[in-house]
Amino acid sequence: MSEHTPLAQAHGQRATKAVIPAAGLATRFLPATKAVPKELLPVVDRPVLQYIVEEASRAGINDVLLITGRGKTSMVDHFDRQPYLEARLEAKGDMERLAAVRGTSELAEIYTCRQGEPLGLGHAVSYAESHVGDAPFVVLLGDEFTEESQPLLPQMIELQSRTGGIVLAFIEIPEDQVNRYGIASVSEAPEYADVENVVRVTGLVEKPSREEAPSNLAVVGRYVLPGTIFDAIRRTKPGSGGEIQLTDAMALLLAEGTPVHGIVYRGHRYDTGMPLGYLQAVVQLASERDDLGPAFTEWLKSFVAGLDRNAGKAA
Ligand code: G1P
């Protein structure tokens, strides 16, 4: 490849902007999400979206584009200043809550645009084109986040700046769940052997059946993409579920020679997109909190012991 191809020029450039698709209707959480965006459901005392923007901010990304839809403008308010509330907290001398309220407006510059019709993840990402241009960028799905003590984004961004291609994150999942995810076939990546848990992606398929799935490596909601993805999305026809899939656009770039790599994530991934995963996230994060954790886990243990006793009686 010549030094002057767009891909070669992209090498060395680091992603500095994030895109969060958040226009979905969240039918799995109705009626809670009739008037409240699912991204604002609280996990302990912070909305899901705040964990995601904090994750981006810790990775040095302070420019965040939210792709929103009707009824979801309150997401933006969460990251705005609240002078009246701040003045009240200050007057009361409640500096801890004041810092928490102000902190959300200091995490990142938040930009928004509207996806008029939810036609798929690829379609949502296509709205970011005028904001990110042809630079590499990060996509963070609005209902997943990673463990704070096991960051993933910094390695992904660094690797993408070296490959100039696509960098994904994977988790290993049970085989009966492959039809819920984008699934990859992979090989070793000796040229990036210095990166822990790295693989080279040789194929991608969105929500395959168990028989069609090439592995049990599932794409999780963190992507670092080159600007060429926008043209690929334009050339992508509706796929799984009749939607324009990001996975299909990435598979197109892969087939055309764009390097695609993945990092297998070994930390904990919180998936709040479904009620069970949401409840697990609330319990896990509450247990780890310095302020709430000790009292909460004590109660939780006796609650679980009670459940076990009742199950024993019923048996
Ligand atoms: C999306 C992607 C899928 C990915 C998943 C991760 O699916 O299309 O490839 O594996 O997110 O959560 P969705 O969950 O929006 O159906």
In DSSP notation, 294-306 reads: HHHHHHHHHHHHH
Could you give the CA distance from residue 88 to residue 69 in angstroms, rounded to a whole number? 32
Query: What integer pLDDT is reported at residue 4 of this predicted model?
Result: 40
* Ligand 1 pocket mutation pick from 141, 170, 171 by most atoms within 8 angstroms of CB: 141
Whether the predicted pLDDT of 54 surpasses 50: yes
Contacts 24+ apart (CB under 8 A), 308-315: none
Compute the distance from residue 113 Cα to the ligand 1 centre, in Å: 21
Model pTM? 0.92
Query: What integer pLDDT is reported at residue 71 of this predicted model?
Result: 84
CATH code for the domain in which residue 110 is found: 3.90.550.10
Q: Does residue 61 sit within a domain? A: yes
Query: What integer pLDDT is reported at residue 283 of this predicted model?
Result: 97
50: containing domain: 17-163+219-256+265-273
Q: Does residue 1 sit within a domain? A: no
Q: pLDDT for 92-110, tens place per residue?
A: 999 999 999 999 999 999 9
Structural domains in the chain (count):
1
Q: List C-alpha distances in Å: 312 to 55, 298, 299, 304, 309.
A: 42, 21, 20, 12, 5
Could you give the CA distance from residue 294 to residue 136 in angstroms, rounded to a whole number? 43
Query: What integer pLDDT is reported at residue 24 of this predicted model?
Result: 82
Could you give the CA distance from residue 249 to residue 238 in angstroms, rounded to a whole number? 10
Q: Does residue 49 sit within a domain? A: yes
Could you give the CA distance from residue 143 to residue 136 in angstroms, rounded to a whole number? 22
Query: What integer pLDDT is reported at residue 6 of this predicted model?
Result: 46
Pocket of ligand 1 (CB under 6 A): 121, 141, 144, 181-182, 206, 218-221, 245-247
CA 228 to chain centre: 20
Q: Does residue 194 sit within a domain? A: no
Query: In which band, very low, low, confident or very high, does the pLDDT at 12 lie, cut at 50, 70 and 90?
Result: confident
Strand ranges, E, within 165-256: 166-172, 182-187, 198-206, 217-225
Could you give the CA distance from residue 260 to residue 185 in angstroms, rounded to a whole number? 11
Q: Does residue 291 sit within a domain? A: no
Compute the distance from residue 273 Cα to the ligand 1 centre, in Å: 10
Residue 153: exposure state from Cβ atoms within 10 A (0-12, 13-18, ≥19): buried
Ligand 1: atom nearest CA of 241 is: 16
Whether the predicted pLDDT of 221 surpasses 70: yes
Q: Does residue 311 sit within a domain? A: no
Q: Does residue 185 sit within a domain? A: no
Q: Does residue 119 sit within a domain? A: yes
Whether the predicted pLDDT of 79 surpasses 80: yes
Compute the distance from residue 197 Cα to the ligand 1 centre, in Å: 21
